């Protein structure tokens, strides 16, 4: 049975020539939230357009299984970045979600907000009403924290459920938490406590509901029952928005009056729907600038080069694309103490499957990444010791203290490389070392006028040499932790590690093993027009009426966290901006 026969959806043909108050383009992390909130007012005819299908099979709800986007059947787009100058011409594999719910259908499930100083920095930079006091209510609005709902800073009435790990499943993770604390890193049980120090080791919240199912934004905000009962809400899946219909008003200002649609699998028929109030782009940091460029909104010079008529010269479109920088260290562990045990021991896999079916417990009902370390690399000395931990340096509300590195504890080989004996005689454990506040950035440009082709995606990795300093510090700290883990008696053996901690050796290791963190952002930044901004402080596109953006592309700088929670917050705020003016 087709998923579309179970979930109430429309096709591009079904909505052709119809009129809507709001059209939300992109039914991913943000789009599901926005369509749900806008359609709460039954007077608003709201259309949500998603290129991917509805994915609601049983396996798509199993947290561990659905996080494996290397599976050929995973609901994702995969393509290569442009050759990256900072990596000597090497390209990285890029991945984004392709389904209703977007990347929340296949991401690592981590619910993280970043420290309050993140948003206070936005406000200090001129983003009016974007400080922590302004964004915290919108984090809480969407959330139902099953573990920390009693906290004044957490939500317990929203549709989007998350919970923290009660006990880390793997001894390798538990040992690393103990070693990190012994190393002087404070242990905090609530990962998203705004009062927590800016240097922390913590078990992580994950978007897993009370039934131990993945809680993606389509499931949370657009469940089948809601989609069926709201006659003013229309959800088109497997439908591609090819461009915006932009007309100039009597005063010469461009305005979005409609959108052009095609079935994703069929480019022979083009359909048009009218927009009476606003179109909102929620297609993500790659597809949103691509769609703007295809519609003639973007840098004049680039549009002329590719042959797109210029409707609005907006130089910031596609500018400043960012991604977190990640490099794995991989070690051998006992097979039973890693996720590889599910592949190496069929009976164990069957046992875990049955445990999940009957109780929701075991490996399958948890996220891969159960704990991490975040801190500011400037606090580490050359021997990876925290040389200073003054109270003013731990204040998470201070923009000067935003963490710039993360070390993820992952009981699995994260590289995709095949190692002889892995999942047969031993398992894998990875320290995934990330730069959370890279200075490097790249761009999104058109590669083709065909909207089905991925654009030129230059994530800019290590284009700024200053980013080499925090990644070296993160790697050295991970090597120090690994040495202490071994010294404690845990059997950790080198599998993929640099030969030494010298700068040159680390730089070569980074070049050979660096990977995308799949956290694409900032390509249509919220900033002043003179600063290459694309949207204003209420997410309206500069100089184009009837058009907003609400996805990761609008972040002024990439947040120092996993991105799904901040993206949902952006969508909640966008809905409020729109509804406040009605």
Name the pairing type of β-strands 427-435 and 325-333.
antiparallel
113, 195, 385, 570 from 119: Cα distances, Å? 10, 14, 28, 12
Element (H or E) spanning 258, and its range? strand 254-263
Question: Mind giving me the DSSP string for 324-392?
Answer: -EEEEEEEEE-GGGSTTHHHH-HHHHHHHHHHHHHHS-SGGGS-S--EEEEE-GGGB-TTS-B----HH
77, 208, 212, 220, 337 from 146: Cα distances, Å? 32, 9, 11, 14, 27
CB 282 within 8 A of CB 272: no
CB 278 within 8 A of CB 548: yes
Task: Give me the residues paired with residue 333 across strands.
Answer: 427
Residue closest to 410 by CA, chosen among 60, 36, 112, 67: 67
- Measure the CA–CA gap between 440 and 320, rounded to whole angstroms: 8
Residue 215, phi-psi category: left (phi > 0), alpha (psi -120 to 50), beta (remainder): beta
CB 556 within 8 A of CB 126: no
50, 149, 260 from 157: Cα distances, Å? 27, 9, 37
The length of the chain, given as a count of residues: 582
What b/e readout covers 92-116, taking b as 16+ CB neighbours within 10 angstroms?
bebbbbbbbbbbbbbbbbbbbbbbb
Question: Mind giving me the DSSP string for 99-110?
Answer: STTGGGGTS--B
Looking at 377-458, which runs of residues are DSSP E strands? 405-410, 427-435, 442-445, 456-458
Give helix 132-142 / helix 116-124 axis angle, nearest 10°: 130
- Measure the CA–CA gap between 59 and 57, rounded to whole angstroms: 6
Q: Which residues are catalytic?
A: 519, 562
Through-space distance between the first and last CA atoms of the chain, rounded to whole angstroms: 41
Q: Give 517's contacts (C-beta < 8 A, 6+ positions apart).
A: 323, 324, 325, 326, 434
Task: Give me the residues paired with residue 236 across strands.
Answer: 10, 49
- Measure the CA–CA gap between 541 and 155, rounded to whole angstroms: 30
Q: Tell how far CA 506 is from the center of its chain.
A: 27
- Measure the CA–CA gap between 405 and 373, rounded to whole angstroms: 8
Q: Give 289's contacts (C-beta < 8 A, 6+ positions apart).
A: 298, 317, 318, 321, 444, 455, 523, 524, 553
């Amino acid at each position: 049975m087709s998923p579309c026969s179970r979930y109430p959806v429309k096709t591009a043909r079904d909505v052709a020539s119809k009129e809507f108050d709001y059209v939300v383009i992109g039914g991913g992390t943000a789009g599901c939230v926005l369509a749900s909130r806008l359609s709460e007012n039954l007077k608003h005819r709201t259309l949500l357009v998603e290129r991917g299908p509805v994915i609601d099979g049983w396996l798509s709800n199993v947290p561990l299984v659905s996080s494996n986007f290397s599976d050929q059947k995973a609901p994702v787009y995969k393509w290569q970045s442009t050759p990256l100058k900072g990596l000597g011409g090497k390209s990285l594999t890029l991945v984004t979600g392709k389904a209703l719910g977007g990347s929340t259908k296949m991401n690592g499930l981590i619910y993280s907000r970043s420290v309050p100083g993140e948003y206070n920095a936005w406000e200090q930079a001129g983003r009016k009403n974007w400080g922590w006091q302004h964004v915290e209510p919108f984090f809480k609005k969407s959330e139902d924290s099953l573990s920390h709902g009693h906290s004044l800073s957490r939500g317990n009435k929203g549709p989007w459920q998350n919970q923290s790990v009660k006990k880390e499943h793997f001894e390798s993770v538990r040992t690393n938490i103990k070693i990190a604390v012994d190393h002087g890193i404070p242990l905090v049980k609530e990962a998203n406590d705004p009062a927590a120090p800016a240097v922390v080791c913590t078990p992580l919240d994950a978007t897993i509901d009370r039934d131990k199912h993945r809680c993606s934004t389509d499931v949370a905000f657009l469940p089948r029952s809601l989609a069926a009962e709201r006659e003013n809400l229309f959800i088109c899946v497997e439908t591609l928005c090819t461009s915006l219909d932009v007309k100039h008003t009597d005063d010469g200002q461009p305005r979005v009056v409609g959108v052009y649609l095609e079935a994703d699998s069929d480019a022979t028929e083009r359909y048009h729907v009218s927009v009476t109030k606003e179109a909102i782009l929620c297609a993500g940091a790659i597809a949103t600038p691509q769609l703007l460029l295809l519609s003639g909104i973007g840098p004049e010079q680039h549009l002329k080069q590719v042959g797109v008529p210029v409707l609005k010269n907006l130089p910031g479109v596609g500018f400043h694309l960012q991604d977190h920088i990640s490099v794995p260290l991989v070690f051998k562990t006992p097979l039973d103490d890693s996720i590889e045990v599910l592949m190496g021991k069929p009976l164990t896999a069957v046992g875990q499957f049955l445990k999940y079916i009957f109780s929701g417990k075991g490996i399958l009902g948890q996220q891969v990444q159960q704990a991490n370390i975040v801190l500011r690399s400037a606090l580490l000395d050359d021997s990876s010791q925290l040389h200073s931990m003054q109270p003013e340096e731990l204040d998470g509300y201070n923009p000067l203290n935003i963490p710039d590195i993360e070390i993820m504890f992952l009981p699995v080989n994260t590289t995709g490389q095949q190692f002889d004996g892995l999942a047969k005689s031993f398992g894998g454990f990875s320290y995934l070392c990330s730069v959370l506040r890279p200075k490097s950035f790249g761009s999104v440009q058109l590669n083709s006028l065909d909207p089905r082709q991925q654009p030129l995606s230059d994530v800019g990795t290590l284009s700024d040499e200053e980013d080499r300093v925090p990644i070296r510090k993160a790697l050295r700290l991970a090597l120090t932790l690994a040495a202490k883990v071994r010294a404690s008696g845990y059997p950790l053996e080198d599998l993929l590690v640099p030969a030494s901690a010298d700068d040159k050796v680390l730089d070569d290791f980074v070049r050979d093993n660096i990977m995308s963190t799949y956290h694409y952002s900032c390509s249509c930044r919220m900033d002043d027009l003179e600063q290459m901004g694309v949207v204003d402080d209420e997410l309206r596109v500069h100089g184009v009426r009837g058009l907003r953006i609400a996805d990761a592309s609008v972040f002024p700088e990439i947040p120092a966290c996993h991105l799904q929670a901040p993206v949902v917050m952006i969508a909640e705020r966008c809905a409020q901006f729109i509804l406040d003016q009605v």
